[in-house]
Amino acid sequence: MFMFTEKDIQQIKSKGLSVEDINHQIQNLIHGFPYISLEKPATINDGIIKLSEAEVTSFVKLFEDIKPDTLKFVPASGAASRMFKFLFEFYESAKDKYNSVNEITQPDVKSFFQLIRDFAFFDDLKNIIQSNGGNIDEYLKQGQYKNILDYFLFENGLNYGQKPKAVLAFHEYETQFRTALEEHLAEGALYTKSGEDIVKIHFTISPEHNELFQDILKRELASYESLYKVKYDITFSVQKPSTDMISVDLENNLFRNDDGSLLFRPGGHGALIENLNDLIADIIFIKNIDNVVPDKLKQQTIIYKKALAGVLLSYRERIYDYLELLESKKVSNEQKDEIHDFITNDLCYNMGKLKDTQSLYAVLNRPIRVCGMVKNEGEPGGGPFWVKHPHGVIDLQIVESSQIDINYKEQTDILKSSTHFNPVDLVCSTKDYKGNKFDLLNFRDPQTGFISIKSKDGRDLKAQELPGLWNGAMAFWNTIFVEVPIITFNPVKTINDLLRKEHQ
C-alpha cells in the first residue's frame, strides 16, 4: 500500500477515482499484465468469412430493407502531432536556407517540399504566408524550407502541428477542400441514415479542440445537409477523467510533477469504451478519423459498410431466436446441440462439451461485433487470431503485437503467419434481445492492459494503458471477422500519406 497525502487524495477524488483504484493501478504497474496465448491465426474459412459478390449484394439489401437506427462512432481526440514528427525533427536541425531541395537528406522531408503543391492545404498555407508579407513560391525557390514550416506547424500560421487530424485539410475538390471531419459527414450520409433521413455521428474529442470542431460545423454543416438531403445529429464526448492512469518511476515510486502533484496519463483508446457505453442505437459503426477517401473512391467503402451491417443483422436475428428459445425452458437436447454447433462453428467460440441451458445462454447473450479484416500488406496494427483463455475457452480476438510474448518462438511464429490485420472497421450491436442496452463495461478483460516506458521532463516513467477499445475492452463480445477489400483502408499516419493516389 502506498501512502498518499491529503492533497493526493483530493486529486484522486477529483478524477472520480478512489485510493483503492489507484493502488490497483500501481499493482498492475509493478507486476505487469499476462501475455495473450495465441492458438493460431484467423484465416479465410477458419475464423474469417470471405463473402461472394452475391452474398455482399444480399447483405447490403438486408441492411437497406431493415433500416435500423444507426450511429457512427469516430474516435477523433488525438492531436495530429505524430503526423509531422519527421518535419519537427527536420525543423530542429534545419538551416535557414538551402541551395536546392536535393541538399535535404531525409527522403520524406524532401518529398514533402517537392510535392507540397499537391496537398489540399497548399492554398491555405500560401495565403497565410502572403498575409504576413511572404511568398511561398519564393521561399521554395530560395530553399527557405524552415520558414515555410514556421507557417505550417506553428501558431503564427496554420498551426497544423497542434491541431487534431479531424480539422486538417485532407482532400482537394474542384471548388473546395475537405477536412477529415467533413469526409466523415459525407461518408456517414451514405450509410448511417436512419428514419426521417437523420444521420447520427458521435465524435470523441479533446476538450481543448472543441471550438475547432464547432467552427467547421457552423461553416459547413448546412451545405452537407443540402447536398445529401439529410439532417445531421452530431454529438461529442471527451475521455472521462476517471479513465486516467497513475504513473510510477522505474523503481515503482509514485511519479510526481514539479509541483508535487501526482502524474496521471490518459488511459489510451481503451478508455473510449466508457464513451461508447453511453450511446444508444440499434447498430453502431466504428471507424477511425483518418481512414477516409475522396468521393471518387467511396463506393466500395459504402457497399462493405452496409454488407458488414447486414452480416451483423443476420447473425443477430439467429442469436435472438436462440435466446428466446433458451429462456422459454422448452428447449430439447437436439435444439441444444444445434445451438452448440452454431456457437462453435458460426460464432467461432469453442466452449468444449458444455451444452447446458445456462452456459449456452451466457455465451449468446453478449454484445456482437462484426469486424472487417484486410489482407496483410505490411501495414502496422493488430490482427485477427484464435486465442486460448486461461479458463480453457478458445475464441476470436483482435490482438496487438504488444500482447504477445516475443521471447516465445511458437507465439511469434503464429504472429508472423497472420494473413490479415485489423483496419478498425467495426459494426456493433450493444442491445440484448429484449431491447435493453448492455453495460459494455461488464464485457472487458482487465488483464489485457499493457505497460510502456515513457518520459516526462527528462525522467523515465512507467505508463499504463487500459485494454484497447477493439482488443481487451471488447474481449467478451461475440465476434465475427469478415474480409473487406484493401481499398476500404486508407489511413493517414504521416502527412505524406496524403500524397498517395488514394488521397489525391
pLDDT at 143: 95
Q: How many CA atoms lie within 13 A of 17 on its CB side?
A: 21
The string of pLDDT tens digits covering residues 276-316 is 999 999 999 999 999 999 999 999 999 999 999 999 999 99
Partners of residue 371 on adjacent β-strands:
426, 481
In 328-440, which residue ranges form alpha helices assigned H by DSSP? 333-341, 357-364, 409-416
pLDDT at 486: 93
Per the listing, cell 499476462 goes with: 34
- Please report, for residues 124, 177, 294, 335, 380, the alpha-carbon distance to residue 174 in angstroms, rounded to integers and kept in the order given: 15, 8, 12, 60, 33
Residues 157, 128 contacting (CB under 8 angstroms): yes
Strands 283-287 and 264-265: unpaired
**Of 228, 359, 307, nearest to 480 (Cα)?**
307
The string of pLDDT tens digits covering residues 431-473 is 999 999 999 999 999 999 989 888 888 899 999 999 999 999 9
Per the listing, cell 466452449 goes with: 351
Residue 442: CB atoms within 10 A of its CB come to 10
Query: Cα–Cα distance between 225 and 234 in angstroms, integer?
Result: 12
Q: Which amino acid would we find at residue 141?
A: K
DSSP 8-class letter at 180: H
Residues 190, 302 contacting (CB under 8 angstroms): yes
DSSP 8-class letter at 350: B
Q: What SS3 string covers 114-154?
A: HCHHHCCCHHHHHHHHHHCCCCHHHHHHCCCHHHHHHHHHC
**Of 493, 486, 108, nearest to 290 (Cα)?**
493
Question: What DSSP string describes 17-77?
Answer: --HHHHHHHHHHHHH--PPPEEEEE-EETBEEE---HHHHHHHHHHHHHH---EEEEEE--
Q: How many CA atoms lie within 13 A of 436 on its CB side?
A: 5
pLDDT at 195: 81
Taking the whole predicted model, whether its pTM rises above 0.75 is answered as: yes
Q: What is the mean pLDDT of each run of 10 residues along the chain (504 residues)?
A: 88 94 93 94 97 98 95 90 92 92 94 97 96 95 95 95 95 94 97 92 95 97 97 96 93 93 91 96 96 94 97 98 93 95 97 91 98 83 90 94 90 92 95 97 93 89 92 96 95 94 92
Query: Cα–Cα distance between 283 and 201 in angstroms, integer?
Result: 12
In 173-253, which residue ranges form alpha helices assigned H by DSSP? 180-191, 210-228
Contacts of range 312-317, beta carbons closer than 8 Å, 24 or more positions apart = 312/283, 312/368, 312/369, 312/370, 312/427, 312/428, 312/429, 312/480, 313/62, 313/63, 313/66, 313/68, 313/283, 314/59, 314/62, 315/346, 315/347, 315/368, 315/370, 315/478, 315/480, 316/368, 316/429
Residues 479, 312 contacting (CB under 8 angstroms): no
Strands 198-205 and 231-238: parallel
Query: Cα–Cα distance between 395 and 42 in angstroms, integer?
Result: 10
The domain ranges of the chain are 6-79+180-503, 82-162
pLDDT at 81: 81
Fold for domain 6-79+180-503? Spore Coat Polysaccharide Biosynthesis Protein SpsA; Chain A (3.90.550)
